Amino acid sequence: MAAPTRTTLVIDAGDLPSLVAALLQPDPARVVLWHPRATGPAAAAQAACARSHRGLLDDAPLFETEAWIPPSGCAPTRALERGLTLTQAACVGVPLGVERIVWPIQVGPHVGAVSAAVDQATLATELIEAGEGGERRGRLMIDVPFVDLDETQILDLADDAGAPPAYWPCRLGEPEPCGGCEECGRWLAAHDRLGLPWPWSRATTTAGAEP
């Protein structure tokens, strides 16, 4: 029997929203993962987590792309960086024949930010389809399932999906999440609000600066 077509690409940053988005897909056999390699102290840990997600999804294919590093003196806006992420995801997924790109972006319940992210996904879809010149069969969809959720809601979904702690909530590249950087802080606080155990030690070292 032929293997099923991989019709869904999940953008996997090695973080909790990415892991939950992948686990919630109805058919893991149709999922492909794409990891945009980050820069900074936590890059290796994030990549390792993304690779570990394959085993949770019936050994889904994982593609990795080096992060785009802007020229010296250039500081692209977050919106431009997000647009580049979606374009890179399409460059991986479209040749594979995917029909959906799952972008697990999370901006919280802020109407303006939610609207901007949804608009960006819509515009990216239109740009990709225009570049294909009408050669695609069917419409490419970019889903933003978590765009308006906060951290506690993501943790609830993670619990429902049975997600293991196979993600990296730290920006400092410590052997264990430090508990002191901004990323650790927001997830540690969400665990506390829900009364959930923190999967790592409660170390709160803040040595070093956030990159």
For 156-160, which contacts have Cβ atoms below 8 Å and span 24 or more sequence positions?
Answer: 156/194, 157/20, 157/24, 158/16, 158/19, 158/20, 159/196
pLDDT confidence of residue 3: 56
Q: Are strands 141-143 and 100-102 parallel, antiparallel or unpaired?
A: parallel
Within the chain, which residues score under 70 in pLDDT?
A: 1-4, 131-138, 202-211
pLDDT confidence of residue 137: 56
Report how far residue 12's alpha carbon sits from residue 15's, in angstroms, rounded to the nearest whole number.
Answer: 7
pLDDT confidence of residue 134: 56
8-168 fold = Rossmann fold (3.40.50)
pLDDT confidence of residue 149: 96
pLDDT confidence of residue 120: 92
Report how far residue 167's alpha carbon sits from residue 49's, in angstroms, rounded to the nearest whole number.
Answer: 5
Query: What three-state secondary structure class fits 54?
Result: helix
Q: Where are the domains of the chain?
A: 8-168, 169-211
Which of 26, 36, 51 shows the shortest CA–CA distance to 145?
26
pTM of the predicted model, to two decimals?
A: 0.89
